Chains A and B, each alone.
Chain A
């Protein structure tokens, strides 16, 4: 499969947020300002790629030879939780300034369904090592792209005269709906 096609489809066409509805909880939580959105996006790219590589190796080197494919879910989620914890400790020790910027978002990522979805998608689609990395980066970059676009729009919304009941999250979903229309037009790209 063409690697560029794979990347573009993970990034835009099968966008994790608009097309797959994954990672909505952290998405709604941190998309109200641009700066934290960039921090969260960077953290997600790192964690998704790292966790995907580890879970891919775990599946093909340990679970499959032992015939334990049904343990996939339990192993992956533990691996992700442990990986996030480890990254948090590592960043805290090595670069306190980076930790200050990313630190608060790292624990949130454990419950980001995008991480688990990326890990499982790589296995169920039978990607090889390179395809797996491209796909994971594409998924995570799609998350970051949406997060930043969204945060920019939501910053502009502040101070606008929005009906009382729609203030906060409901209006964000209306924006998501309109953006989903725009992104559905990209479906013919690949």
Chain B
């Protein structure tokens, strides 16, 4: 195996095994609630990437001057400020997204992924590395909620659609399941839990598979 493909496979399995949503069970609230359409998932994903990258950068910048006793409040204020900025931007430029995501924009503040990365990574690493970590985590969060919303929108409404949030022009709208054969159940809460359970089980199964492969390698 050439080094390049090995690296690629490493990235892929890292994306699955160290996935913040299905692997570590962080940030599940928003992953369950807003994944009814691809539009919501992309909007939420972009907002989270923005906050995560910037909060990691700022936390990393102040890491040496923050007294240890009050580091959590300091991080929370940084994150809350960034979320307020994002909320105002979304409200001003993409009002349709603002109504669709609702309270969940505010709740990015308490998304465990963001505080978790600030605490576990950005507080003890350089600015560049923290920014990269934030981007990686944000992208894998976005891919996870995209996978959720892909399944839920496809099975629940029978079609996949995406529109430009800035002017509400439909970019594409393909019906893959004929009318009357869709399963609206998947857009409800129950469908959210079920989709999540199955995806999480798939990730666990992949992890178990990797462990077994590693064990076999050792035995040889």
Q: Does chain A have a CB within 8 A of B67?
A: no
Q: Does chain B have a CB within 8 A of A104?
A: no
Assembled-state Cα–Cα distance A71/B106 (Å):
12
Closest Cβ of chain B to A90, distance in Å, is: 17
| Chain A binding surface SS class | helix
Assembled-state Cα–Cα distance A167/B204 (Å):
9
Whether the Cβ atoms of A164 and B205 lie closer than 8 Å is: yes
Q: Report the nearest A residue to B114, measured CB to CB.
A: A111
Binding site for A on B (CB under 8 A): 25-30, 32-33, 72-73, 76-77, 80-81, 83-84, 87-88, 103, 106-107, 109-112, 115, 188-194, 196-198, 200-202, 204-205, 208
Q: Which of B29, B33, B103, B201 contacts A170 (CB 8 A)?
A: B201
- Give the most central of A20, A73, A176: most B CB within 10 Å: A73
Assembled-state Cα–Cα distance A121/B110 (Å):
15
Closest Cβ of chain A to B110, distance in Å, is: 4
Q: Give the total of A residues in contact with B, Cβ under 8 Å.
A: 44
Binds B, one of A59-67, A74-82, A135-143: A74-82
Whether the Cβ atoms of B110 and A77 lie closer than 8 Å is: yes
Whether the Cβ atoms of B109 and A116 lie closer than 8 Å is: yes
Whether the Cβ atoms of B110 and A116 lie closer than 8 Å is: yes
Whether the Cβ atoms of B197 and A113 lie closer than 8 Å is: no
Assembled-state Cα–Cα distance A23/B112 (Å):
11
Note all chain B residues with C-beta closer than 8 A to A168. 204
Q: Which of A22, A164, A174 contacts B29 (CB 8 A)?
A: A22
Assembled-state Cα–Cα distance A54/B89 (Å):
28
Assembled-state Cα–Cα distance A123/B118 (Å):
29
Q: Report the nearest B residue to A20, measured CB to CB.
A: B33
Given A25-B112, A77-B109, the answer on whether A180 and B196 have CB atoms closer than 8 Å is no
Note all chain B residues with C-beta closer than 8 A to A180. 188-190, 193
Note all chain A residues with C-beta closer than 8 A to B73. 78, 81-82
Assembled-state Cα–Cα distance A134/B18 (Å):
41
Assembled-state Cα–Cα distance A171/B106 (Å):
29
Whether the Cβ atoms of B189 and A111 lie closer than 8 Å is: no
Q: Report the nearest A residue to B206, measured CB to CB.
A: A165
Note all chain B residues with C-beta closer than 8 A to A111. 110, 112, 115
Closest Cβ of chain A to B93, distance in Å, is: 16
Note all chain A residues with C-beta closer than 8 A to B205. 164-165
Whether the Cβ atoms of A21 and B29 lie closer than 8 Å is: yes
Note all chain B residues with C-beta closer than 8 A to A22. 29, 33, 107
Q: Which of B25, B103, B112, B197 contacts A120 (CB 8 A)?
A: B103
Closest Cβ of chain B to A176, distance in Å, is: 4
Whether the Cβ atoms of B201 and A25 lie closer than 8 Å is: no
Whether the Cβ atoms of A24 and B29 lie closer than 8 Å is: yes
Closest 5 CB pairs of A and B: A173-B197, A177-B193, A165-B205, A170-B201, A21-B32
Whether the Cβ atoms of A73 and B194 lie closer than 8 Å is: no
Note all chain B residues with C-beta closer than 8 A to A28. 25, 28
Note all chain A residues with C-beta closer than 8 A to B27. 25
Listed by A's residue number, 15 A-B pairs whose Cβ atoms lie within 8 Å are A21-B30, A25-B25, A73-B109, A77-B109, A82-B73, A111-B112, A113-B111, A117-B103, A120-B103, A165-B208, A169-B25, A170-B197, A173-B193, A177-B190, A181-B190
